[in-house]
Chain A
Amino acid sequence: GAVVSQHPSWVICKSGTSVKIECRSLDFQATTMFWYRQFPKQSLMLMATSNEGSKATYEQGVEKDKFLINHASLTLSTLTVTSAHPEDSSFYICSAARGAGRVTGELFFGEGSRLTVL
């Protein structure tokens, strides 16, 4: 099946610093990628939709200046957590929709990135 890879798998940073998480589709082009946040024992919460070559679409309540998303190519989207605080500590997961334009709704998920802010 299609492969989506996230890097880093885990990261620890100091409060006030910024952290970048990469999401790559390794064997297909993804015009659309999604970023989720998963709290312990909770569901995946969609944060934003990342569209190649255009601005990301953020879900209600998600701070776009806090969580910067860049989808510069058809195989890479990045999520930057700016001025991180302990409450930003979470598991961040990306997914990619295979195919250009409209797709059939199957998403491929990365392994997730665990962020711990001290």
Chain B
Amino acid sequence: AQSVTQPDIHITVSEGASLELRCNYSYGATPYLFWYVQSPGQGLQLLLKYFSGDTLVQGIKGFEAEFKRSQSSFNLRKPSVHWSDAAEYFCAVGPPPNFGNEKLTFGTGTRLTIIP
């Protein structure tokens, strides 16, 4: 069965500092990996996704993630956070693209707090 682990429930970072959010997955085949962000009272917005190709993926809002198969990880990074980045971040894993089944398994989320 597929699963996603986000070990950090809550992270606090100073504005302008770098950020890394951890994500580990378990999937029986080649995973399709996602990072979503959820602001209070809003839906989830896709930050980036990875299935194949370059293991360092660039996303929106200055975020990037690196896929490491040997570590079953897909950590999200940002070199310098902004106060507007405060939100809940979810890592998710799903079947390959065009598989016809878009079921995603989500991690428990990491809440990011930014301090001035």
Contact = CB atoms under 8 A, between A and B. Distances in A.
Interface of A: 1, 4, 6, 9, 32, 34, 41-44, 46, 49, 93, 95, 97, 102-112
Given A44-B90, A104-B97, A111 B106 contact: no
A111 B49 contact: no
Contacts of A93: 43-44
B6 to A, nearest CB: 9
Interface string B18-59: 000000000000001000100001111110010100000000
Interface of B: 4, 9, 32, 36, 41-46, 49, 51, 90, 94-100, 102-109
Contacts of B94: 105
A34 B106 contact: no
A108 B102 CA distance: 11
B98 to A, nearest CB: 5
Per DSSP, chain B at the interface is: loop
Given A105-B32, A105-B97, A107-B102, A42 B46 contact: no
Contacts of A43: 4, 90, 106-109
Closest A-B pairs by Cβ, 5 of them: A109-B43, A109-B44, A44-B106, A43-B106, A43-B108
B43 A46 contact: no
A103 B44 contact: no
Contacts of A108: 43, 46
19 contacts: A34-B102, A41-B9, A41-B109, A42-B109, A43-B90, A43-B107, A46-B104, A102-B99, A102-B100, A103-B98, A104-B97, A105-B95, A106-B49, A109-B36, A109-B44, A111-B41, A111-B43, A112-B41, A112-B43
Nearest to B109: A43
Nearest to A114: B41
